[in-house]
């Protein structure tokens, strides 16, 4: 029999009554009964699709808002010749177009796992995040090139009031989109959508910078417009750093350490768990998956150990936000022979850390 107890979280077996030795567990059981939820595989897929639909709604709405803003600004750029407003308009257009790869990623993420892509297609969001970072970098290069060209070849800016109005409209539209994307991205766990929201926020602040350029031009300083264009480039580079860091962490399977601490605490609160070993988590799209080691009594039967593993997965899903599934491996208390001895000659990267017994609760 394989030592791993893969907790697939079968609902029929999960709801089987078990003995409770700790009085405080009644609170969890009461909350479990009063809270509508399900852990069936079909329900998990439905939940994942619902978050994708929410992400798609956010993208469509923000695309319309940014599209209208971009068109208004483009018309005023053609009339005024403002290079600062041109840089802001190009950045807005690029920000609106990033909805396309991200929308494709959300659609791909709905596809079920198969034998080739055993974890599904959630990583498509990370690829979309890379494209978003590349788009931000390209817009920074274009804004810098346009500003330098205007410094070398000065040109008067006209229709200053229109430029100011377009800049203000750009700020309002982008800040609204930024808040909408970031809020949705954090709620559904999408790093790519959060990065896209940061992109929109930078557009909003650069739109305000265009106002400074228009004010300088009104005072007769011809270099004000291209200088502000260079400042916009610096602002874009700052958001590029933040977005790249967000996407890089997701690509490297980074998770909030607080999630790991929460997982350990949840596992040790399960009846029958005597200690915990490694707990690993990774993002697959905007959902978390986990692998965990627990220690149980060596005298338990396979059925009893599996029941504890299922309860452990149940506890993890309730305790860790955005966690949809976990694989729980059961180790047992020490016996004469080390069951992992056959693995010791393999690389250290594949070894399990020694499980840590939980503190005793007996008096």
Query: Residue 264: what pLDDT?
Result: 96
Residues 283-290, mean pLDDT to the nearest whole number: 86
Cα atoms in the 13 Å half-sphere on the side-chain side of 260? 13
Q: Tell me: the pLDDT tens digits for 316-335?
A: 999 998 888 899 999 988 76
All domains of the chain in start order, with CATH: 42-251 (1.20.1510.10), 255-357 (3.30.70.1350)
- 204 within 8 A of 241, measured Cβ to Cβ: no
Higher-scoring residue by pLDDT: 290, 12: 290
**The residue to which tokens 């920074």 are assigned:** 140
| pLDDT surpassing 70 at residue 343 | no
Q: How far is it, in rounded angstroms, from Cα 57 to Cα 129?
A: 18
**Is 359 exposed, middle or buried, given 0-12, 13-18 or 19+ CB atoms closer than 10 A?**
exposed
| pLDDT surpassing 80 at residue 272 | yes
- 237 within 8 A of 262, measured Cβ to Cβ: no
Binned at pLDDT 50, 70 and 90, residue 360 comes out as very low
Query: Mean pLDDT over all residues of the chain?
Result: 75
Q: How many angstroms from the chain centroid is the CA of residue 206?
A: 25
Strands 287-296 and 323-332: parallel
Q: How far is it, in rounded angstroms, from Cα 299 to Cα 317?
A: 27
The whole-model pTM stands at 0.64
Q: Where are the beta strands (DSSP E) in the chain?
A: 4-5, 275-284, 287-296, 323-332, 356-357
C-alpha to C-alpha distances, 216 to 160, 168, 235, nearest whole angstrom: 10, 16, 19
Query: Residue 15: what pLDDT?
Result: 38
Higher-scoring residue by pLDDT: 124, 147: 124
| pLDDT surpassing 50 at residue 351 | no
**The residue to which tokens 């790093």 are assigned:** 191
| pLDDT surpassing 90 at residue 182 | no
**Is 323 exposed, middle or buried, given 0-12, 13-18 or 19+ CB atoms closer than 10 A?**
buried
For the ranges 174-183, 228-237, 241-250, 274-283, the maximum mean pLDDT occurs at 274-283
C-alpha to C-alpha distances, 288 to 22, 124, 240, 260, nearest whole angstrom: 29, 15, 25, 12
- 107 within 8 A of 121, measured Cβ to Cβ: no
Query: Residue 2: what pLDDT?
Result: 42
| pLDDT surpassing 60 at residue 162 | yes
Percent of the chain scored above 70 by pLDDT? 72
- 290 within 8 A of 263, measured Cβ to Cβ: yes
């Amino acid at each position: 029999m394989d030592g791993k107890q893969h907790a697939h979280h079968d609902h029929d077996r999960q709801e089987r009554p078990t003995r409770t030795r700790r009085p405080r567990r009644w609170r969890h059981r009461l909350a479990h009964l009063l809270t509508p939820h399900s852990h069936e595989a079909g329900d998990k897929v439905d939940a994942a699709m619902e978050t994708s639909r929410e992400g798609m709604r956010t993208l469509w709405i923000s695309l319309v808002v940014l599209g209208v803003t971009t068109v208004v600004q483009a018309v005023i750029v053609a009339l005024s010749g403002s290079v600062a407003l041109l840089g802001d308009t190009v950045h807005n257009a690029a920000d609106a177009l990033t909805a396309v790869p991200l929308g494709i990623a959300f659609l791909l993420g709905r596809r079920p796992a198969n034998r080739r892509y055993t974890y599904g297609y959630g990583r498509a969001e990370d690829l979309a995040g890379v494209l978003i970072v590349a788009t931000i970098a390209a817009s920074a290069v274009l804004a810098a090139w346009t500003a330098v060209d205007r410094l070398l070849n000065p040109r008067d800016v006209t229709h200053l009031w229109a430029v100011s109005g377009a800049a203000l409209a750009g700020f309002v539209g982008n800040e609204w989109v930024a808040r909408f994307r970031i809020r949705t991205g954090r709620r559904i766990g999408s790093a790519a959508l959060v990065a896209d929201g940061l992109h929109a926020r930078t557009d909003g602040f650069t739109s305000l910078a265009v106002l400074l350029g228009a004010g300088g031009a009104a005072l007769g300083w011809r270099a004000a417009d291209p200088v502000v264009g260079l400042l916009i480039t610096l602002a874009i580079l700052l958001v590029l750093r933040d977005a790249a860091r967000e996407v890089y962490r997701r690509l490297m399977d980074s998770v909030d350490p607080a999630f790991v601490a929460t997982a350990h605490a949840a596992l040790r609160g399960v009846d029958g768990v005597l200690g915990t070993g490694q707990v690993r988590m990774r993002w697959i799209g905007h959902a978390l998956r986990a692998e965990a080691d627990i220690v149980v009594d060596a005298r338990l039967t396979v059925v009893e150990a599996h029941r504890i593993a299922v309860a452990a997965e149940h506890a993890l899903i309730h305790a860790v936000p955005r966690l949809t599934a976990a694989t729980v491996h059961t180790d047992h208390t020490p016996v004469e022979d080390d069951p992992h001895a056959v693995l010791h000659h393999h690389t250290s990267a594949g070894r399990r850390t020694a499980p840590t017994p939980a503190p005793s609760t007996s008096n």
